[in-house]
Amino acid sequence: MGAFGEISALMVGRIPSVAGLKEGDSLEMILDECLEGYDFPVVTGVDLGHTNPIATIPVGVGARLDADKRELVYNESGVHN
């Protein structure tokens, strides 16, 4: 089943126009193909990855994604003393 079988939501960063998509392809088409058979919310166009501005998302920190509100709420701090 792979990684998509282990997640409950997916966030995809903004894709620059120079990303090399073939003419006629769109991010939505690619996601539809890759995510066929999975049922979780997907939010696209997020300021993460190689974007400016860029959101810093801590690895391993639990969070709740509300796709309708396009809101990510962390369940804990991303920094530990």
Average pLDDT over residues 7-27: 79
Q: Is the confidence at residue 38, as pLDDT, over 90?
A: yes
pTM: 0.74
Q: How confident is the model at residue 32 (pLDDT cuts 50, 70, 90)?
A: very high
Q: How confident is the model at residue 1 (pLDDT cuts 50, 70, 90)?
A: low
Q: Is the confidence at residue 12, as pLDDT, over 80?
A: yes
Residue with tokens 């894709």: 15
Dump the DSSP string for 6-64.
G-S-EEEEPPPTTS-PPTT--HHHHHHHHTTT----EEEEES-SS-SS-----TT--EE
Within the chain, what is the greatest distance between any pair of CA atoms?
Answer: 49
> What are the C-alpha distances in Å from 19 to residues 22, 28, 39, 70, 71?
9, 14, 27, 24, 26
pLDDT of 20 reads 67
